[in-house]
Amino acid sequence: MSQDIHEMNKRATLVGHICTQYSFLDYLISNILWSFLNLDKEAGMIVTGNMDIRPKIDMAISLSIHFKKIDDVRSTLQKIKNNSSKDNGFISKRNQIIHGIHSSRDNDPTVMVEAHRKKGHRQRQPMTVEYIEETHLEIASVNKELAALLEKNKINVH
C-alpha cells in the first residue's frame, strides 16, 4: 500500500465540508431575502434559486436599507461582503479550491492548483491542506455568526 503523501483523503473530506458550509451560507442568505420579501420557501426558491451568492448578498443589503429592516443583519452582511469578496476572501479561496485544477507528481508532496475562472489565479501555485482547512473554518465561522443572528431576529435557519 502506498503512502498518501498528497493527503488526498483529507483534502477530499475538507473540500466536501467547504461545499456543505458554502451551501448553508447560500441558504442562510436566501432565507434573509425570503424573509425581507415575505416569500414562502417555494416562491423564494423561484426568486433566488438561480442567483449566485454575491448578488444575493448585495440584494439582501439593499432590501435591508430599502425596508429599514434589521440593522444588525445588514451590518453583518456588509462585513461578510467586504471580507469575502477580496482576492484573499473566502469566496475567492473557495472558488479556487472547488473549481481549481489540482495536480501532483509522484514522490513530491506538493499539490499544485490553477483556476481558469479568475485571471489572478491562473498561475499554478501550491495548495496546502492547511489552506483548505483554514478556508473551511472561515466559512463555518461566518455561518455560525450569521445563523445566530438570524435566529435572534426570528429568520429561519433550518
The residues, any chain, with a CB within 8 Å of residue 73's CB and separated by 6 or more, are 32, 60, 64, 149, 150, 153, 155
Residue with cell 456543505: 20
- Alpha carbons 81 and 64: distance in angstroms, whole number: 14
**pTM for this prediction:** 0.88
pLDDT digits (tens, 9 = 90+) for 77-108: 999 999 887 778 899 889 888 887 767 777 77
pLDDT digits (tens, 9 = 90+) for 111-121: 777 777 666 55
Which residue ranges make up each domain of the chain?
8-152
